[in-house]
């Protein structure tokens, strides 16, 4: 029995490790490979495929890609660029704040890709290591997913918590407040403990002498496309509709009753409607949407969630009782251990939504949390931000993008894999968000 468990664990971790080494969409492929080995050779029943998570991501990406093709995403980035360039001395605070806000609005952390050259340029102008604002922005974009009304993770977790007595607007409010404060406090701490002087970085000096560091100047100078502003208005209107509808059908508010269109279906239909309206009124070619960077990265995310989450659910389902017993004992004695479980699971499952879906049902069962016994449900609210530990392994697309776009060389991955500039800011942000969650959530 022990040997069988070890073998299954080796296959589970091995498939993830190979996928990480291959990079990109391959982690989804190797997830499927792991399911094949666990199912056909080790006798494990394949777990549930998280179709709801995948479809919500796909719907969000469809709308955001249409907005990008219409020029809306570039328009939002140009506004953000003006803010960053107007106050360059505060780049360590403005970069994570802008990354967090863009993620909240767009429902995907990939929105920060377009900001990275601007952050590098502004940081260089202030003799600040770009690694500091870049790492803070990437971490803030990851944790911002747990506060975005249109992210699959928030949709899933709020759907779990509402039957336990939590109002949707209250949940969004708690997660927005805790994650934003956590990002800003992290920026403050990192700015104090990290050497900021770019001129003293040896790698930067070497690259400067070799002529590898460019003075980019104004990065985004192109004009707005004709439908750029309209596409942003349509998309943000869809986000507001999502928030309003989810609030209106909430069990504690019930402005709409009976509920014919459930929350997940409503969110997907609103987002697809937004994509249709943008395509129609902004006069974009549907075929070109497939070529946008957001569509490509978003569909990659869908395949990754498909494969890795399926693999994770297969392994978890095969050892559900043991995990429930162990998790229940730990979390009952030390509630913060739930955050630890979320943290480590997200480093392997590579997705906030997939992590929440894999771990939450186990905790509900282990602690006996239900509509008639919702007292401990505050722990799920408090620890939710901990599903954002996608920065631990230096393989996430936005993390790699930051490394590649920093021509000073200050944003680099060390020999020991974990010694990279995203690690400490990420841990600080999650720890602070969870602590704030435990302070605020019990009040509601």
Q: Is the pLDDT of residue 399 over 80?
A: no
**CA distances, 20 to each of 223, 311, 350, 366 (Å):** 38, 14, 10, 31
Pair 405, 117: CB distance under 8 Å:
yes
CA–CA separation, 55 and 103 (whole Å): 19
Angstrom distance (rounded) from CA 285 to CA 294: 16
**CA dist., res. 340 & res. 355, Å (int):** 12
**Is 221's pLDDT higher than 60?**
no
Q: What is the pLDDT of residue 144?
A: 92
The tokens for 10 are 């080796």
Q: Over pLDDT 90: what percentage of the chain?
A: 23
Helix (H) or strand (E) holding 27: helix 26-36
Q: In the Cβ-directed half-sphere of 144, how many Cα atoms lie within 13 Å?
A: 26
Q: Which residues on neighbouring strands pair with residue 373, listed in sequence order?
A: 370
Residue 1 above 70 pLDDT?
Answer: no
- Alpha-carbon gap, residue 72 to 64, rounded angstroms: 9
Report the pLDDT averaged over residues 138-143.
92
- Look at residue 146 in the predicted model and tell me its pLDDT: 92
Give me the mean pLDDT over the 142-150 stretch: 89
Query: What does R_g of the chain's alpha carbons equal in angstroms?
Result: 22
Q: How far apart are CA 270 and CA 265, in angstroms?
A: 9
Query: d(Cα 260, Cα 257) in Å, to the nearest integer?
Result: 8
Residue 111 pLDDT: 66
The burial of 131, by beta-carbon neighbours within 10 Å (0-12 exposed, 13-18 middle, 19 or more buried), is given as: buried
Using a 10 angstrom Cβ sphere, with 0-12 exposed, 13-18 middle and 19 or more buried, the burial of residue 35 is buried
Whole-model pTM?
Answer: 0.75
Confidence label for 85 from pLDDT (cuts 50, 70 and 90): confident
Q: Is the pLDDT of residue 217 over 60?
A: no
Q: Is 373 helix (H, G, I), strand (E, B) or coil?
A: strand
**CA–CA dist 20, 30 (Å, integer):** 9
- Residue ranges in 162-213 assigned as alpha helix (H): 168-193, 202-209
Contact 91, 126 (CB under 8 A): yes
- Say what the pLDDT of residue 220 is: 47
Q: Is the distance from CB of 136 to CB of 112 less than 8 angstroms?
A: no
Mean pLDDT of 193-203: 84
Q: What is the DSSP string of 195-207?
A: --BGGG-HHHHHH
pLDDT score of 123 = 83
pLDDT, residue 219, reads: 43
Alpha helices, DSSP H only, in 319-374? 320-333, 337-349, 352-367
Q: What is the model's pLDDT at position 435? A: 95
Residues 157-182 have a mean pLDDT of 90
To the nearest 5 percent, what fractions of the chain are helix, strand and coil?
75, 0, 25
- Residue 316 and residue 35 in contact, taking contact as beta carbons nearer than 8 Å: no
């Amino acid at each position: 029995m022990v040997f069988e468990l070890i073998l299954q664990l080796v296959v589970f971790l091995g498939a993830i490790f190979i996928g990480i080494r291959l990079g990109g969409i391959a982690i989804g492929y190797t997830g499927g490979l792991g399911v094949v080995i666990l199912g056909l050779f080790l006798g494990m029943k394949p777990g549930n495929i998280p179709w709801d998570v995948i479809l919500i991501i796909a719907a969000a990406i469809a709308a955001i890609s249409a907005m990008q093709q219409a020029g809306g995403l570039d328009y939002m980035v140009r506004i953000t660029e003006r803010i960053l360039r107007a106050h360059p001395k505060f780049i360590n605070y403005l970069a994570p704040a802008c990354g967090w806000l863009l993620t909240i609005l767009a429902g995907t952390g990939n929105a920060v890709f377009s900001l990275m050259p601007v952050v590098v340029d502004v940081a260089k102008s202030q003799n600040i290591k770009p690694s500091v604002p870049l790492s803070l922005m990437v971490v803030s974009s990851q944790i911002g997913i747990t506060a975005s009304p249109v992210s699959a993770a928030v949709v899933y977790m709020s759907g779990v918590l509402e039957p336990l007595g939590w109002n949707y607007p209250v949940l969004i409010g708690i997660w927005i407040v805790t994650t934003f404060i956590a990002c800003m406090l992290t920026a403050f701490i990192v700015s104090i403990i990290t050497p900021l002087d770019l001129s003293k970085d040896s790698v930067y000096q070497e690259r400067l002498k070799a002529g590898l560091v460019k003075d980019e100047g104004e990065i985004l100078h192109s004009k707005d496309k004709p439908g750029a502003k309209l596409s942003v208005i349509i998309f943000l209107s869809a986000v507001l509709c999502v928030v309003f509808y989810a609030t209106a059908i909430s069990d504690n508010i019930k402005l709409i009753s009976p509920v014919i269109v459930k929350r997940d279906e409503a969110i997907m239909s609103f987002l697809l409607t937004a994509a249709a309206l943008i395509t129609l009124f902004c006069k974009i070619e549907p075929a070109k949407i497939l070529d946008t960077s957001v569509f490509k990265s978003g569909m990659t995310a869908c395949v990754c969630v498909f494969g890795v989450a399926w693999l994770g659910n297969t392994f978890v389902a095969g050892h559900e009782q043991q995990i429930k017993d162990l998790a229940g004992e730990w979390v009952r004695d030390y509630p913060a251990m739930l955050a630890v479980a979320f943290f480590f699971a997200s480093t392997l499952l590579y997705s906030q939504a997939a992590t929440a879906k894999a771990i939450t049902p186990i905790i509900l069962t282990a602690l006996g949390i239900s509509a008639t016994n919702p007292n401990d449900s505050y722990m799920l609210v408090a620890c939710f931000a901990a599903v954002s530990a996608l920065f631990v392994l230096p393989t996430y697309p936005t993390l790699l993008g930051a490394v590649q776009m920093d021509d000073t060389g200050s944003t680099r991955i060390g020999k020991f894999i974990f010694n990279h500039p995203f690690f400490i800011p990420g841990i600080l942000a999650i720890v602070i968000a969870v602590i704030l969650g435990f302070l605020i959530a019990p009040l509601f």
